[in-house]
Amino acid sequence: MSKVEPFGWRCFIAVRSATLTGSRAPQKRPHQRILWPMAGKCLPRPDGSKRSGNSKGRSMFVSKEGAALASPNGLRTIMEDIAQTLHTADQGNGNFVNLGIGNPAPIPEVTTYWRSLTQEVIDENATCKMGSYGASRGEEALLLEIARFFRTHLDWDIGPENIVVGPGSQFLCFAAGVLFADCDHPIILPRLPDYTGYDALRAGRNALRGIEPQVEILDQRSFRYRLDESALAKIDRAGLFVASTPSNPVSDVLDQRALLLILDAAKRTNATVLLDHAYGLPFPAIAHGTTWMTLDPRVLHCFSLSKAGLPGARLGFAIGDPDRIDAMTAFVSNTVLHASRLSQDIATAALRDQSILALVRNNISPHYRRAAVHAQRAARDCLPASINWKTHAQDGGMFLWLWCDEPWSDDLELYRMGKERGVFFTPGRYFFLGSEQEHAWMKQCLRISLNQPAETLEHGLTILADCMRALRDSAPRPAWDRPLSRTADRGVHDA
């Protein structure tokens, strides 16, 4: 074994240990050095075995920005726990149901389409392309196809100067956070809950604030989050407004009124707006509703091929005002040089003959439409009728957002109990980023993925029902609040 040990693991263990003990990076002045003592810990390798290094007395300088980026957030710790558990289960022939993952569903027709298209691109000129660097803005052929596509289908008057391609839309969101926000001009998430990946946008020096939603109860089993217009109107400092639409995790779509209010707030504060369409139009188009989309000098629109079936290709692009796009192009150039040329050629081929539209229309959108309908029905059939649970009204998307509205409910405890029973859900508290208030209902939600077969989802929800009953029965409650009989504790259609 080589004697040269990569320092990255040392950094990870140091920062992660600080996180798991209840604290983030030490709070220092902006330019003060932060030393991370290792205290002689044995460092684990990726396979879980121990290192035998002598690290006693060593320390490592970590910048404030570095500490923020290297420190795993709460959800990342959960995802690591899921991955490690599944890895261990695979080695021991365990059987876990993972309803916490965000991968797109493995739709056979989609897999076949991308495999065939990738092979065609490789057969044509991949070797030549992969043997040289490309343009930081993106391959010229792809830029022209994107411009043509949006001129044709959305009547957007754009050209290559309005477009930048990057290694995934999340990277482009990060670039926008670095470029257009700082501690005096914070990042605003106008409608919580929202994508946990936006937590990295603060990058140590950026302030991030999320606006708590208003909760509207629709009926006994459904509710909806609404944009808090009055809170948005009070925002007097901002550098960047960011929102996913349809959103991850609740799959709701920002309507025209909400978007106009966000635009008004951006104009008032001289800020930029970034709309993340990773789940929306034109691909993968897995929402029933339609996001009102408009070209505005302040708005950056981010798009991705990940949820259309290519998450591993890491390809996204942003469309916006040339000045903002030029700044993002320079950021790409100074960090990653450019996105994968092979991935760009695959996207070019999909847009050139517009076959991706048929894929979306005939396979991707119908699949998730059926999955959403089935998820609502499965929740009614599997979850206890005696417990006050609700699902967020769906506009489509990849997830079911479940709220267990009971005083004893806790998302992390349900996660733990589910893991013990062989099923994973995603705790909801981590999606309420930058909230200035901590409401009980923020810790009572679960995000459930719709990327599994129908019978797998039903099995997972049945286990969740057992977890909910067990958590309720273990909580101290007054005598009058106890169930009169076990029959009242079955599913809606069991009685």
pLDDT (0 to 100) of residue 428? 95
Final residue belonging to a domain, choices 21, 46, 71 = 71
Would you give the distance in Å from CA 457 to the centre of its chain? 20
Domain containing residue 225: CATH number:
3.40.640.10
What Å distances lie between residue 229 and 58, 190, 258, 260, 262, CA to CA?
51, 9, 8, 11, 9
SS3 410: coil
Same domain, 37 and 66: yes
Cα 366 from Cα 348, distance rounded (Å): 24
Residue ranges, the chain, pLDDT below 70: 1-58, 89-94, 126-128, 204-206, 288-292, 477-495
Same domain, 206 and 134: yes
83-120: burial string, b at 16+ Cβ within 10 Å, e else: eebeeeeeeeeeebbbbbbbebbebeebeebbeebbee
Domain around 409? 76-106+365-489
Is residue 94 one of the residues assigned to a domain? yes
The Cβ of residue 286 has, within 10 Å, a number of other Cβ atoms equal to: 28
Relative to beta strand 208-210, strand 389-392 is unpaired
Same domain, 218 and 351: yes
Q: Which pTM does this prediction carry? A: 0.84
Cα 65 from Cα 59, distance rounded (Å): 17
Same domain, 435 and 330: no
Adjacent-strand bridge partners of 403: 390, 445
Q: Rounded to 5 degrees, what are φ and ψ at 234?
A: -90, -10
Q: pLDDT (tens digit, 9 = 90+) per residue, 333-357? A: 999 999 999 999 999 999 999 999 9
pLDDT (0 to 100) of residue 29? 38
Adjacent-strand bridge partners of 43: none
Same domain, 345 and 428: no
Number of domains in the chain: 3
Same domain, 193 and 214: yes
Cα 218 from Cα 398, distance rounded (Å): 21
Tokens encoding 210: 């999320």
Same domain, 28 and 51: yes
Same domain, 21 and 139: no
pLDDT (0 to 100) of residue 18? 38
pLDDT (0 to 100) of residue 287? 78
Amino acid of residue 335? T
Same domain, 80 and 66: no
Is residue 495 one of the residues assigned to a domain? no
Domain containing residue 443: CATH number:
3.90.1150.10
Q: pLDDT (tens digit, 9 = 90+) per residue, 110-128? A: 999 999 999 999 988 766 6
Q: Is 406 exposed, middle or buried (0-12, 13-18, 19+ CB in 10 A)?
A: middle
Residue entry with tokens 């942003």:
318
Is residue 61 one of the residues assigned to a domain? yes
Final residue belonging to a domain, choices 315, 339, 358 = 358
Final residue belonging to a domain, choices 358, 376, 404 = 358
Is residue 10 one of the residues assigned to a domain? yes
Same domain, 8 and 132: no
* Secondary element (H or E) of residue 355: helix 355-359
* Secondary element (H or E) of residue 314: none
Same domain, 264 and 406: no
Is residue 494 one of the residues assigned to a domain? no
Same domain, 139 and 61: no
Adjacent-strand bridge partners of 44: 50
